[in-house]
Amino acid sequence: MPAFPTAARRALDDAQLRRNLHHATHTIRAKRARAVAEVDQWERLRSNGAAIKDHTLTHLDTYLTQLEESLTRAGASVHWARDAEEANRIVTGLVRATGTDEVVKVKSMATQEIELNQALEQAGIRAWETDLAELIVQLGHDQPSHILVPAIHRNRAEIREIFLREMGQVGVGAPADLTSEPARLAEAARGHLREKFLRAKVAVCGANFAVAQTGTLVVVESEGNGRMCLTLPETLIAVVGIEKVVPTFADLDVFLQLLPRSSTGERMNPYTSMWTGVTPGDGPQAVHVVLLDNGRTDALADDLGRQALRCIRCSACLNVCPVYERVGGHAYGSVYPGPIGAVLNPLIRGTTSAVDRALPSASSLCGACFDACPVRIEIPDLLVRLRTRVVDEKRGGLPTPEALAMKATAWTLASPARLEGAQRVSALAGRALRGRERIGRLPGPLAAWSDARDAPVPAPETFRSWWKRERGER
């Protein structure tokens, strides 16, 4: 996977992708704006959401212990996973113990993050995604491109082709006369999935929220496929990031208002499923909850970065981001794309890889993401903070060309005399180029600017020198 600038440049060349992304993000952006405008005290709701999350994160140890007790009391088994490998080992072991070789899956970011499907496949267990968009991505041997709309980069014609080509290979095939009408595509998916729902003994899900007080897990979704997985199988395995805990049932009131409006632009999401442990004779009779760290405590240890753990995965920041809109999710090299991905990934994965080091710079710092964030994560500030971290980690070694340029700039700007010296050179160039309105091509590293943009001609006289001439030294 190349780092963002290279991956983004490739994505920009795909005209169809850009059209799909533009259409989808603008549609959902407008819908969200309408749904948010309906709420009188939206700003207060945002602040409440942020405050609840901050309080929980500050006392995370207490609430996680309470959650474990509540879950156990309600008949669920709790497992702790330090990282992806441990979580995958636990889930694989639990599935194997049931004697089955397949699971149905509720759309879950946590299991995408730990690449559970691949781990299960290596263990000979097939995992079937049941969320419509995740199904499209899985059947297309593809990666999700968006948190909420994983197949945002695909259009209807492409989806029809994928269904016709792939469904029959792994189960009930698509009807031969399938058209690209949404209703027909949904019907084909329903036929394909029904067989899997009715056969599966084990389901794997995540959770949008986990209530410490009661041990209740919450999944919100639009299609009802999740609810099929949460009710039909005998065994349910939930992989839950430790930041998903909220203290009380009453706290859900705030988040169940914030999430659907920010995410799908709806007042209320169509399906909200809540379950508390095991109820004899009703639903799964074995419930396992894997509480996942996988770098979250590293983010928690960062005094500014910990606010990224407030994220409720609504994807509002993706939909308003002008960078995401042009390049889509794959360029971010992670299941968490867009502005939140650009901060969350380096926080939880660290900045050792080239991909993670480039992510904080994948933004123009326009600030639209902060305005849209329902829990007020100050993404632009975090991006600057992470850029600083990337720079600081490189100090002491051989300086990069960028570091040399920045240090030279800092040295020049540190005194008015040095700045004037540099300005004399610039004014000289300005005088030499007098009469021309713009410069076409620049040499060296500045060519990245002038490949597509004219550069301004520097002024023949600086303001400073004009002021001294006109007004004297004072």
Partner 1 sequence: MRVALFATCYNDTVWPQTPQAVVTVLERLGCTVEFPLGQTCCGQMLTNTGYGREALPLVERFADVFEGYDAVVAPSGSCVGSVRHQHATVARRCGQHALAERATARARTVFELSEFLVDVLGVTDVGAAFPHRVTYHPTCHSLRMLGVGDRPLRLLRAVRGIDLVELPAAEECCGFGGTFAVKNAAVSVAMGADKARHVRETGAEVLVAGDNSCLAHIGGLLGRQRAGVRVMHLAEVLAATEEVAA
Binding to partner 1 by residue 434, rule CB under 8 A? no
Binding to partner 1 by residue 415, rule CB under 8 A? yes
Binding to partner 1 by residue 42, rule CB under 8 A? no
Would you say 171 or 460 has its CB closer to partner 1? 460
Show the tokens assigned to 204. 């794997």
Query: CB within 8 A of 342, min separation 6: which ones?
Result: 332, 359, 360, 362, 363, 379, 383
Q: How far is CA 400 from CA 7, 235, 404, in A?
A: 22, 54, 6
Show the tokens assigned to 420. 């004037």
Question: How far apart, in Å, do the first and last CA atoms of the chain sit?
Answer: 57
Stretch that binds partner 1, among 46-54, 68-76, 154-162, 407-415 (CB under 8 A): 407-415
Binding to partner 1 by residue 463, rule CB under 8 A? yes
Binding to partner 1 by residue 24, rule CB under 8 A? no
Nearest distance in Å: CB 53, partner 1: 22
Binding to partner 1 by residue 46, rule CB under 8 A? no
Q: How far is CA 469 from CA 459, 463, 466, 474, in A?
A: 16, 10, 5, 11
Write each residue from 346 to 385 as x if it is in contact with partner 1 (CB under 8 A), else as -, in one continuous string.
Answer: --------------xxxxxxxxx-xx---------x--x-
Which of 65, 122, 248, 409 is in the footprint of partner 1 by CB under 8 A? 409
Binding to partner 1 by residue 327, rule CB under 8 A? yes
Q: Give residue 146's Cα distance to chain centre.
A: 7
In what helix (H) or strand (E) does residue 289 lie, and over which residues does it extend? strand 286-292
Phi and psi based region of residue 10 (left: phi greater than 0; alpha: psi -120 to 50; beta: remaining): alpha
Nearest distance in Å: CB 435, partner 1: 15
Nearest distance in Å: CB 254, partner 1: 24
Nearest distance in Å: CB 287, partner 1: 44
Q: Give residue 331's Cα distance to chain centre.
A: 12
DSSP one-letter string for 76-88? -EEEEESSHHHHH
Binding to partner 1 by residue 37, rule CB under 8 A? no
Show the tokens assigned to 390. 């990337």
Nearest distance in Å: CB 430, partner 1: 8
Binding to partner 1 by residue 459, rule CB under 8 A? yes
Nearest distance in Å: CB 154, partner 1: 21
CA–CA separation, 33 and 309 (whole Å): 24
* SS3 state of residue 135: helix
Binding to partner 1 by residue 27, rule CB under 8 A? no
In single-letter form, the type of residue at position 399 comes to: P
Which of 1, 2, 12, 234 is in the footprint of partner 1 by CB under 8 A? 12
Quickly list H helices, 307-373.
316-320, 322-327, 338-349, 354-358, 368-372
Which of 38, 61, 177, 473 is in the footprint of partner 1 by CB under 8 A? 473
Would you say 9 or 431 has its CB closer to partner 1? 9
In what helix (H) or strand (E) does residue 126 lie, and over which residues does it extend? strand 126-129
CA–CA separation, 180 and 159 (whole Å): 8
CA–CA separation, 10 and 229 (whole Å): 38
Binding to partner 1 by residue 268, rule CB under 8 A? no
Which of 30, 352, 434, 466 is in the footprint of partner 1 by CB under 8 A? 466
Would you say 89 or 387 has its CB closer to partner 1? 387
Nearest distance in Å: CB 260, partner 1: 24
Binding to partner 1 by residue 399, rule CB under 8 A? no
Stretch that binds partner 1, among 55-63, 244-252, 289-297, 452-460 (CB under 8 A): 452-460
Would you say 176 or 417 has its CB closer to partner 1? 417
Which residue is listed with tokens 């004399």? 424
Nearest distance in Å: CB 136, partner 1: 26
List, in sequence order, every beta strand (DSSP E) within 130-270: 202-205, 209-211, 216-221, 235-241, 245-246
List, in sequence order, every beta strand (DSSP E) within 293-437: none
Chain residues that interact with partner 1, rule: CB under 8 A: 4-5, 8-9, 12, 322-323, 326-327, 360-368, 370-371, 381, 384, 387-392, 402-403, 406-407, 409-410, 413-416, 419, 422-423, 426, 437-438, 440, 445-446, 448-449, 451-456, 458-459, 461-464, 466-468, 471, 473-474
